[in-house]
């Protein structure tokens, strides 16, 4: 008679999948502030269906809804290919994410899912270019365009327009609503406050007679080649 040690059971792939999902949920929760949490609780207690209809129909505030031109904000000294950065823009309550794709494309988006306002995460290892993912209801967005590729979100992510300076620093300079191009978003925000810059961008109805030099970089000063900002690249997608 031979005696052998008992062998451990083979790992259940479903367990690994569940652990991955839990990890995503925890990561999303870590991006949610106390104020965000209280808002979510209030939505649930008041009726999740009503809250969902409000977000989907555009009744509630969404990233990029402001009409004024936000101040440019330096968000990073440098973002390397494959990296991402969570930040707040244009306001302290506006969660956003910047990603640098492997080919050097720099893109910025609202990090609030357009379905029920859960946090959106960057997953570098998914697909050929990575993806933006909402773990609450399996929403997936294209990392290059922000458009919906899977799940229940009713529309793509609003854009946060990024430019890169010659020293490698990355600035957020404006926002574009879901469905707007980068140029349309910039023209909408800059028109009333920066008619000179709006005219340089060729915005409809803009004249170069206005005053007001803002602080920080202007959209034309994006980096060249692989470092070009999202404000330029969004026009080509």
Nearest CA to 75 out of 106, 95, 98, 92 is that of: 98
Q: How far does CA 178 lie from the centroid of its chain?
A: 11
Supply the DSSP string of 171-194, one letter for each residue: EEEEEE-TT--HHHHHHHHHHHH-
Least confident of 53-57, 67-71, 215-219: 53-57
Q: In sequence order, which residues have a C-beta less than 8 Å from that of residue 56 and are 6 or more positions away?
A: 114, 115, 154
Rounded Cα distance between 178 and 185, Å, is 10
Rounded Cα distance between 83 and 123, Å, is 10
Instruction: Take residue 115 and report the two structure tokens written for it.
Output: 């379905």
pTM: 0.64
pLDDT tens for residues 179-221?
A: 888 888 888 887 777 788 778 778 887 765 544 444 456 554 4
- 34: pLDDT strictly greater than 90: no
Rounded to an integer, the average pLDDT of 111-138 is 93
Q: How far does CA 110 lie from the centroid of its chain?
A: 3
Rounded Cα distance between 6 and 21, Å, is 31
């Amino acid at each position: 008679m031979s005696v052998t040690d008992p062998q451990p059971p083979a790992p259940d792939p479903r367990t690994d999948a569940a652990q991955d999902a839990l990890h995503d949920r925890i990561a999303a929760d870590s991006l949610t502030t106390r104020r965000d949490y209280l808002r979510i609780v209030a939505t649930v207690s008041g009726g999740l269906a009503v809250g969902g209809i409000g977000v989907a129909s555009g009744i509630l505030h969404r990233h990029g809804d402001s009409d004024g031109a936000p101040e440019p904000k330096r968000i990073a000294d440098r973002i390397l290919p494959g990296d991402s950065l969570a930040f707040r823009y244009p306001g302290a309550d506006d969660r956003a994410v910047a990603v640098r794709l492997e080919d050097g494309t720099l893109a910025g988006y609202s990090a609030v899912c357009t379905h029920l306002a859960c946090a959106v995460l960057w997953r570098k290892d998914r697909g050929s270019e990575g993806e933006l993912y909402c773990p609450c209801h399996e929403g997936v967005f294209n990392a290059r365009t922000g458009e919906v590729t899977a799940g229940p979100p009713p529309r793509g992510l609003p854009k946060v327009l990024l430019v890169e300076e010659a020293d490698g620093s990355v600035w957020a300079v404006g926002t574009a609503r879901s469905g707007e191009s980068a140029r349309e978003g910039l023209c909408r925000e800059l028109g009333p406050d920066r008619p000179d810059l709006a005219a340089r961008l060729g915005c409809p109805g803009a004249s170069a007679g206005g005053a007001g030099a803002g602080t920080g970089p202007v959209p034309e000063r994006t980096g060249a080649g692989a470092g070009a900002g999202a404000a330029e690249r969004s026009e080509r997608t």
